[in-house]
Chains A and B, each alone.
Chain A
Amino acid sequence: MFDKIAGRALVPVGIVVTGFLVVCFVLLYAAIKQVVIRDSIGHANNLAGIVLKSTRYAMMKSDGELNGAIIRNISEQNGVQHVRIFNKKGVVAFSSKPEEVNRQVDKKAEGCVVCHEKAAPVTTLGNMQKARTFKNAAGEEVLAITAPIYNEPECANAACHFHPAEQKVLGTLDIGLSQEATLGSLAAIRMEMVIFSILTLFLTIAGVITLLKMIVLVPMQKLQEYTEKSARNSHASRPTNLPYELDKIAESYYFIRTKLNETEESSFKTVDDAPVCQNK
């Protein structure tokens, strides 16, 4: 394979095109994945904000029943895995799963440790830091947002119950969203990109093979056949029209061959015409 022109030309082309396409494909997919995940985190953060705004009035009124109803209704929405509200001590105050209510959560658990890693807990988090992903018991990928519920002047001054004004965080909202749709979209993008890459690869290699064969290999074969034919016959015929520089090579070969034949013929003639030596 490597002894032939086709092999020597196609191997580097194949390696280069395939490799570069794979590198670009992986990087492009990683960039798209990052954008899609960042967007879905943004949407989850917005949803967490909506939940907090929805429960704000009920919290101000200290209406547990209304809060519970809001949490239950939101959790019934398609794609919402869980909704929980923790108080300052880490006890579940409201949850979409009634069995979780009044249960204490370990501060070292995933989702809590982000703020409670050090002795003094962090009170402000960026959008990306609020998010975490994990697999639930059913094996589904879940994106969870932990949003702090900040103390506001209305909370500290409310008549129903009192939060000291210096307390920055009153509790946290934990909302989990199924990542099934996002992962499905990513899988579809990946499949489309793989098909596109394979088609590009095939087209490039087929194009190179076709051009190589048309421009180089077939004319080279014609030249080879012409030289072999001329080598067999003592009287070389003029070369048929070969393309590009190969025509010049064939013409040069024809010229050399004709000169050689003429020289051979003249030398034979000289030997035949020479006088026979008398003094043997």
Chain B
Amino acid sequence: MEQADNNGTEAVGHAAYAPQATLRQGLLDEIKLLRRFSNRGLWALSLFLVVSTLAWRDFWFLPSPASVVASLGAPPTPMMISLVLVLYTFSAIILSLSRMMSGLRHKSSFCHVGYLGGFYLFYYLAEALTDNYWAVFGAGFTILCLESYRIWTFCSENITRKLEQLAFLERNGRLPPEEPDLSE
């Protein structure tokens, strides 16, 4: 009889601890995800450096600009590409700063590597890569550094909050009440 009572108490205890364990595991998983996500900007920056190295070596594996131009037609003029590059850099910086301000979780770093690779290609086809290489490199480095910084600050703030929630959960057995949004 006593044994049966003990078993019953244990079952109630497990039931009480089960949601706490699930919440704890959930928080730990989220912290792990955030830690992984915080490196995303640096990975994008590394990929951009690889693309820049290929551009520095004048895309030796690609067909010559003359043959591409012969089949596809004339590329835009270097002046036009430069104008678009300035517009793109300005917009990307403003967008990144706005995301930083509103604390959005946005993973846009890798698409910037694609856009910048496109600029390298257009300059290569217009035979103006030598003169404009450092402009694309500077734009890419700036945008991706800013994006890395944004992602890193976002992740470190969230990790701190999750660790606080974890400590609260372990002290009180429940999650802390949601903080009201003071900005509203």
Contact = CB atoms under 8 A, between A and B. Distances in A.
A16 B134 contact: no
Interface residues of A, number: 18
A18 interface: yes
Nearest to B93: A16
Interface string A115-135: 000000000000000000000
Given A16-B93, A24-B86, A34 B139 contact: no
B49 interface: no
Contacts of A33: 131
A30 B131 contact: yes
B86 A27 contact: yes
B146 interface: yes
Contact of A23 (B135, B149, B153): B135
A20 B85 CA distance: 11
Given A12-B100, A19-B142, A26-B138, A31 B79 contact: yes
B55 to A, nearest CB: 14
Interface in B107-134: 128, 131-132, 134
A74 interface: no
A23 B146 contact: no
Contact of A15 (B82, B142, B153): B142
Given A11-B149, A12-B97, A20 B90 contact: yes
Contacts of A156: none
Interface in A31-49: 31, 33-34
Contacts of A2: 153
Contact of A31 (B82, B93, B149): B82
Contact of A27 (B90, B93, B135, B143): B135
B141 interface: yes
B142 A27 contact: no
B9 to A, nearest CB: 40
B132 A30 contact: yes
19 contacts: A8-B153, A12-B150, A15-B142, A15-B145, A16-B97, A18-B142, A19-B89, A19-B93, A19-B139, A19-B141, A19-B142, A19-B143, A23-B86, A23-B135, A23-B138, A23-B139, A26-B132, A30-B131, A33-B131
Interface of A: 2, 8, 11-12, 15-16, 18-20, 22-24, 26-27, 30-31, 33-34
Interface of B: 78-79, 82, 85-86, 89-90, 93, 97, 100, 128, 131-132, 134-135, 138-139, 141-143, 145-146, 149-150, 153
Closest 7 CB pairs of A and B: A19-B142, A26-B135, A22-B138, A30-B131, A27-B82, A23-B138, A26-B134
